[in-house]
Chain A
Amino acid sequence: MERARPLLGTTVAIRVSGLPREEADRAIARGFAAIAEVHRLMSFHDAASDLSRLNRGASRAPVAVDRRTLTVLRHALAAAEASRGLFDPTVGGALAARGVLPRPADAPEPDPAATWRDVTIAGSRVRFGRPLWLDFGGIAKGHAVDAALAAMALPATAQAVVNAGGDLRVAGLAPELVQLGLDVPGGVPLVELADGALASSTGARRWGAAAPVHLGGAHGRPVGKRRFAAVAAPCCMTADWLTKPVLALGSRAVPLLRRFQAIAWLYSARGGWRVLGGD
């Protein structure tokens, strides 16, 4: 049984098998509810979200947010530290400057020198050391997929796939074949995945010394000289953020991938496909 709904700026599909129909229906409804919560709390676009409240106020005074927002923020900061800032959740200002994200109303102008190190958490409150715009674009989708599966609380014998526009997780022993949305010479890239998550990203661009930005939506287009990365990891949030350091570092991302029990497949026009990690 499969259901799809527009959420998180993409189409989210949830498929369940191995459960009676009514149980599958209820599990899918719980999954969508969990994703909607993530969307409500962590949208950059929604002025009422926790994220928008932080961007408006946390540089002036500590702002209390939902524990789920805190969880993602903690993971985002840990990811920034592990990747030495190649993944950085404070790129919102730079993305808005490029027109990728809308400028939030009433938020103080971000300090161009702001990084993840300017974000501190104390209890349930978050404080910015200088004005900055948080954006969970590189991690919230993955988290939402994980949150959906957790809320679905499936028995071990059921099989499920939660797919948020290509960031997906498979629960269950039976492998799922996932086609990477990339039209390149050499054949159609497929990943067979069981009980794990997969995320992909492309369009690594640098400007100044800042972090590469996932400008998104490049699936299906020729990659030209750019790189395309797909990362498989035990959970989708990890797979999601790891795509950025993999795009930036190439084979130098292997220690990072190992640390997070992940494997990556990296495509570049010059080098073709390379597998990173996984040995």
Chain B
Amino acid sequence: MQAKFFLVPVAAVACAQPALAEDSATFLSVEQAQRVLFPGATFRPDFFDLSEAQFNLIRDTAKITQWVRYIRAWRVSTGGWFLVDHVVGRDDMIKYGIGLTADGQVTGIEILECLPRYDGIRNPAWRRQVAGARRASYNPDAVRSISGATLSSEHVADGVKRVLVTYDLLLKNRR
């Protein structure tokens, strides 16, 4: 689920391009994030819905809230996976892309959308902390938080763990 709230000035509603009072910014499109994480590769969508059992299994194994009942994954032509995931920030939904190698190691993450005032999570040095993460050794609590975007950074770090668990449970042996 992804949900954002806006109050639009009444005068703006009539306009073609309403000026939204507080909007999450889109920093990268899915395609742009794919190109950054896997230069030169092509991507084949492999979207699927989670059964109730799979949904619960991911949540209980990762011990992290599972938000959505589907997986948005792409198979990468050069090997590996690209996924789009959502986590909740303080007052926004954060949408990010994550790359995995064929054997389930994080190649990197790219923030696609969040509120501009919490965009500290776009900082490359912060994001590099999760590069190379594997399920067996990754500890989201060891990822340093960003003051001013504490919840955003903690929840993205948690989301990475959930993605690693999802890879292990569902993607690794997916045909």
Contact = CB atoms under 8 A, between A and B. Distances in A.
Interface of A: 156-157, 173, 175, 186-198, 232-234, 261, 263, 265, 273, 275, 278-279
Given A156-B47, A156-B48, A198-B3, A279 B90 contact: yes
A192 B3 contact: yes
Nearest to A275: B91
Query: What 10 A-B pairs have minimum CB-CB distances, sorted nearest first?
Result: A196-B1, A156-B47, A187-B7, A232-B3, A194-B2, A192-B4, A188-B8, A190-B6, A279-B90, A234-B1
Given A157-B45, A157-B47, A195 B68 contact: yes
Contacts of B3: 191-194, 196, 198, 232, 263, 278
Contacts of B48: 156
B49 interface: yes
A156 B84 CA distance: 14
The dominant DSSP class at the A interface is strand
8 contacts: A156-B49, A187-B7, A189-B6, A194-B2, A195-B2, A234-B1, A234-B69, A279-B88
B72 interface: yes
Contacts of A279: 88-91, 151
A196 B72 CA distance: 15
Given A156-B48, A188-B13, 11 more contacts: A156-B49, A157-B45, A157-B47, A187-B7, A188-B8, A189-B6, A193-B2, A232-B3, A233-B1, A263-B3, A279-B88
